[in-house]
Amino acid sequence: MKCKSLILSVLSFILFGLSTQLLHGQDKAVQLFAHRGGAHEQDENTLSAFKASYEKGLRGFETDVRITKDGVYVISHDPSLERTNGSKGIVEQLTAAELRKVKTKKGNQFLFLDDLLEYLSDKPSIYVEFEMKTRPEDYPQEKLEPYCDQLYKKIMAKKPADALYVLTAFDKRPLKYLKSRYPEVELLYITSSSLSVEVIKETQELGIKRVGCRLGGTSRDLVRAAQKEGLIVSCWPGLSVDDFLLGVSLGCDYLCSDVPVEVFTWMKNKMPWVTIK
């Protein structure tokens, strides 16, 4: 009971602080986006996940892109099919035809990039992150460069006119390559660490303006410092409404969530003065 009371007290303090701050700043807006289409609410990275989240009001999404053995772009976070599909095999070692026969544990079809892009093509004012899953052992430089070229051209060809499509990666190689080839491309550098002076410097050295870092350990002062340097700050993971509230209190521009529908609904009902983009 003591632990529960402490949690409620902390949450009340956060809400009081946010309310005091945001009631005086009605233009506060945060981009909420659904991690893998809503990883803890939906069947992650399936077309049904993106459809369900969109129909519930979400306008921001994140997904993961790989290529098959025969060069077809598919949506999959893991290289292995075991966790999500209960099957043996590595995505990059299978053909498109083989993956078309694969279903998730919940019975959904394996998702291909073209199908996702087609679904999103008529959705106005959306934000989508396409994470490039380019481990060096799977994507040596001679494979990486055509992967980047074709992926960029594919997503831009189907992008709604007013949408914001961003290519992201932990791997700096595709970010550097795309920046050199397509100066206008929107890129985001993801790091598994919290925001720090070193992460800000790394992002600036890449010549890009977006950084995605861990929510835990990130401070408000560092978020402000990054923004002062012209960076746009995104934080993850978002496992709960509390995580989202923490991100808002830190002043983050973009917040990733595995429970985006829950967050969206809670914010709409409890904190309507915060605009969720």
pTM: 0.91
Q: What is the pLDDT of residue 24?
A: 39
Whole-Å CA distances, 223 to 72, 217, 229? 38, 11, 10
- pLDDT attached to residue 14: 53
pLDDT score at 22: 46
| R_g over Cα of the chain | 19
Cβ proximity of 127 and 163 under 8 Å: yes
Instruction: Tell me the C-alpha distance between 55 and 47, whole Å.
Output: 12
Grouping H, G, I as helix, E, B as strand and the rest as coil, residue 132 is: strand
pLDDT of residue 244: 97
Q: For the chain, list the strands marked E by DSSP.
A: 29-35, 60-67, 73-75, 127-132, 164-169, 187-194, 210-214, 232-236, 254-257, 275-276
Query: What phi-psi label fits residue 275: left (phi over 0), alpha (psi between -120 and 50 degrees) or beta?
Result: beta
Domains identified in the chain and CATH numbers: 27-276 (3.20.20.190)
Three-state DSSP at 233 gives strand
pLDDT, averaged in runs of 10, over the chain (277 residues): 50 49 58 98 98 98 98 98 96 98 97 98 98 97 98 98 98 98 98 98 98 98 98 98 97 98 97 92
* Structure-token pair, residue 171: 């791997």
Q: In DSSP terms, which residues pair with 169 in a beta bridge?
A: 189
